[in-house]
Amino acid sequence: MKFFITGASGFVGRRLIAPLLQSGHQVIGLSRGARESKTEGLSWVQGDPNQPGDWQAAVAEADVAINLAGANLFGRRWTEDYKKVILESRIAGTKNLVEALVAAGGRGKKLISTSAVGYYGFRGDEELDEYSPPGLDFLAMVCRHWESEAIKAEAAGVRVVRARFGIVLGRRGGALEQVVRPFRMFLGGPLGGGKQYFSWIHQNDLVAALLFLAENEKLTGPFNLTAPNPVTNRDLARAVGQALRKPSFIPTPAFVLRLALGEFGSVLVQGQRALPQRLTEAGFEFQFPQVDTALVDLLG
């Protein structure tokens, strides 16, 4: 199949391209920067997903579009201005991609549009599957709008998957790099109370799940892309400490995180316990269902 990927240069896109090519697929990556490919099966189109433009013509060639573009959510203070960028880069980018899919005829194409388990809001230790209602905080609102733009492609016959990512644990970069930093300085430990749930997924399982959803054309609708065993923040800290052989008992108080990170600090001290019910029902098997083995693989 031919894939068109927005945000293909990012943390997830970089991990997805090689496995797609190895499975015999072709990839067109969209990037705002100029990029060249010397790899067979991979080509780049330059364009800003937030603006309609020539890049939209390349969508017509694709069987599957994967929508990964959007301003980075982690590691930056969420000021009011940055929150606007977070929201608008997802709404406009998704709208323009959907417009291109519809202009290309729609039927026979699949759209896998990213969302996040932040969709469900902060729900303590309640187990959340794809049928759970959305939350009311900022990230939940972003996810709802992001998903509603994607769903509009269904009217033109596009099969739409809304992939609600948990925190993707990967090598070099992404959220794990930030989680690990204080541990390397012997300052690691739980964040806030430590009882909040952390829904995570190993990078290999995320990529495998995206391929599974692309290749099984009948699978549509929302899917939680999270490991089947979310952990509390305290258990995550313990597992990181063990994988790095570093102490993991120094807590960071919630107010320090809120002062440093603004509203994003609240996301870290709250959280949600999302379960991959629909992926499991569809027969997807996780390579890394447990956080301890995932972290030893990534950090050990």
Q: Note the residues at the interface with ligand NAP (CB under 6 A).
A: 7, 9-13, 31-33, 49-50, 68-73, 85, 89, 93, 114, 116, 165, 167-168, 174-175
Return the ∠ at Cα 190 (arms to 139 and 223), rounded to 5°: 40
The position carrying tokens 């994988």 is: 243
Kindly state the smallest distance separating residue 186's Cβ from ligand NAP, in Å. 25
Nearest residue (CB) to ligand NAP, 24 versus 33:
33
Coil, strand or helix: which one is 136?
coil
Nearest residue (CB) to ligand NAP, 168 versus 250:
168
Whole-number Å distance between alpha carbons of 165 and 80: 24
Q: Which residue is nearest to ligand NAP (CB)?
A: 10
Whole-number Å distance between alpha carbons of 173 and 13: 13
Whole-number Å distance between alpha carbons of 64 and 101: 10
Kindly state the smallest distance separating residue 191's Cβ from ligand NAP, in Å. 16
Kindly state the smallest distance separating residue 13's Cβ from ligand NAP, in Å. 6
Nearest residue (CB) to ligand NAP, 178 versus 287:
178
Nearest residue (CB) to ligand NAP, 73 versus 298:
73
Nearest residue (CB) to ligand NAP, 199 versus 232:
199
Kindly state the smallest distance separating residue 110's Cβ from ligand NAP, in Å. 17
Structural contact between residues 121 and 135, judged by C-beta atoms closer than 8 angstroms: yes
Number of H helices, E strands in the chain: 10, 13
User: Which DSSP state fits 10?
Assistant: S
